[in-house]
Structure 1
Amino acid sequence: MNGYPPRPPTLIAGTTNYRWSFLWDLPPIDGDEVPVRVRATDAAGNISLPTAWISTTVDTVFPVVTSTQPITTVFVSDYLAGSVEGTPVISGTVSDGYGVAAVQVEVFAPNGTSVVQSAQVVSNTWQFIPVLEEAVLGNFRLQVLVEDRAGNVTVGEAYELQVIERPLSTLQATNDGPTALGATTTLTASLATGSNVTYAWSLGDGTTATGATVSHTYPAVGIYTAIVTATNSVGTVSTTTTVVVDEAIAGLQLANDGPIPLGDSMTLNATITAGSNVTYAWSLGDGTTATGATVSHTYPAVGTYTVIVTATNSVGTVVRTMLVTIDPVADLRLSKAVQGTAIGGEQFAYVLTVTNDGPSPQPA
């Protein structure tokens, strides 16, 4: 190696041959190609012909790295695998004449474990976004490591990073009710922000449950207030959701006291065999409406009317129809006449005559 005298060679004896090696004391060389050839001299002073020149890359210069820490505290949820919210916690520059192979950061967790993760390198700049585990919180130590293509490793700065939970905010609770008695209600809790969250439910009927989503069958008709409490290491928030449980409507039947003559009031009734909190809406067939299980109505004209009743509660609707009949009023006339004259205790004839000019009543 021209210009760089070697140290004395190290000879390793064999049966018929010797193996040898040389070490050079070199000045800083940063990835240069250095030509080398070898010749040997025996004890008698005989000198061999030199070998052919060979080239080798010499790199005795370690990479140079600078770094800064723009963020000292982060929310763990921003740095979980797959997150797109995390921003770099360390960034800087790096240079090496032979080329940088990798910029890495060894992440030391509070629980004593460590993992080496790669930084992103673009040209001579780099940045590091750690990938964290959700269950590990506290003070982390980040050690910067840079390796060049020759394997020279520079140990850069070490930084402290505090990893905390994101505070809880905007807790919402919903359910898929109203629910029919005997059916299952699904209740769900959600947060706008928060990590490592546990959910505890008080379902309003004396039972409890845990989890962001729970299913429950309520024992009776009623209105229940379910309370959910969300908790993590930095806080607790609570909210409520109202669950309505009704019995499904069954056995809707209609009746009326007709037929009735025109001008009379008709009474109409709706009954059910099952159902809770039921409302009744009537369409009486003549353009008028009414509400309630029992209604009274005077129809304006003779005829047959189709009545529609809709029974409704929070879990369903049932519709039934019936016909009502309004008959005409009989056109009756009454006349009277006295035949003869009665004197003293004599009898006489008093005649009443009834006539009907209207239609004859029809048998039911």
Structure 2
Amino acid sequence: MGSIYFDHAATSPMDPEVLNAYVEAVASGPGNPSSLHAHGRAARERITSARDVFASILNCEASELIFTGSGTESDNSALFGAAMAQRKRGRIGIVTTAVEHHAVLNACRQLEADGFDLTVLRVDEFGRVSVEEAKAAINESTAVVSIMAGNNETGTLQPIAEIGEWARKHKALMHVDAVQAFGYVSFNLKELPIDFLSLSAHKINGPQGVGLLYVRKGTPFQPLLHGGSQERSRRAGTENVAGIVSFAKAAQIAYDQLRARWDHAEHIRATVLGKLEQYLGAERFVVNGHPDHRLPHILNLSFSGISSESMLMNLDLENVSASGGSACNSGSLKPSHVLSAMKLSSERVSTAVRFSFGLGNTREEADKLAKITATISARLRNR
């Protein structure tokens, strides 16, 4: 057995069918979707078809969808676009949680620096926000509420529907970062009280460099980028045609296999936990995150007495890819803001490792991971 890739929450391998769709789109010839000639019209038709795929999957109007360059751009576009539009209506409150991805947290902090009132909701020891505390924070001056669907470090799912209903009651706009949850959780945007939804292709076996933003029809919104009239003048810049086409292909595959994807990841997760108990002992590690309200493909574990850096370095030497948390911050020595917000002990935070599963992973790999981890643990403890 060769290398083991258990870092799908950072980025996932492209599905062969998705790669073929990408190559076919690139090979079809040059075509700027804004051009009026045949090549331009062909490119525009490919984007239109891709948009229709997402509209069907998300149960929304195609005109409500904006293609972007990443999940981060989608988050920033939603937050800045909604906040600036809402400020014209006298609303200056921003409500989010302490465990959001930095694409949301840092955007919210910038809005605070720009004069908005920021409320950061705390979470419990499982990383889940209280609906009652969220309700208490949302009022008639709230402009935007931003709550992620599923956490990228622990997998904990948030009560977005309940919070969204309260936000709507107070005419605050609701943004959901669904980058990690999409592909495992179904989103019916005709029914969910959501005004903005952010997605990213490379988390669902699509290409890097392309994202999607849903903006509910009639929602106040100001574009983040200014330039041409692409995406109905809501996101300037020539569209990434091949990326968009292959993103739609990845989304369709994920949607068609939603139950199978969940079950596959759940089986891998259960195998890792079971084998770790067998080879290492249940007393040597602890699971971080919610036991029930969670995504199946993310498993965050703390290994008592072994620093995250030491465990990750030794796993890497054994050709196992994992993470200390968000890939956007794993190169930093700073402790995880997510685990810290959960009020876990400093020892538990500093010994955490995130394993995340997906396409191509097997139970044999899960078994091997447990054996390797047990061996590393024994070696480091006996120093």
Q: Give the TM-score taking structure 2 as reference length.
A: 0.17
More helix by share: 2
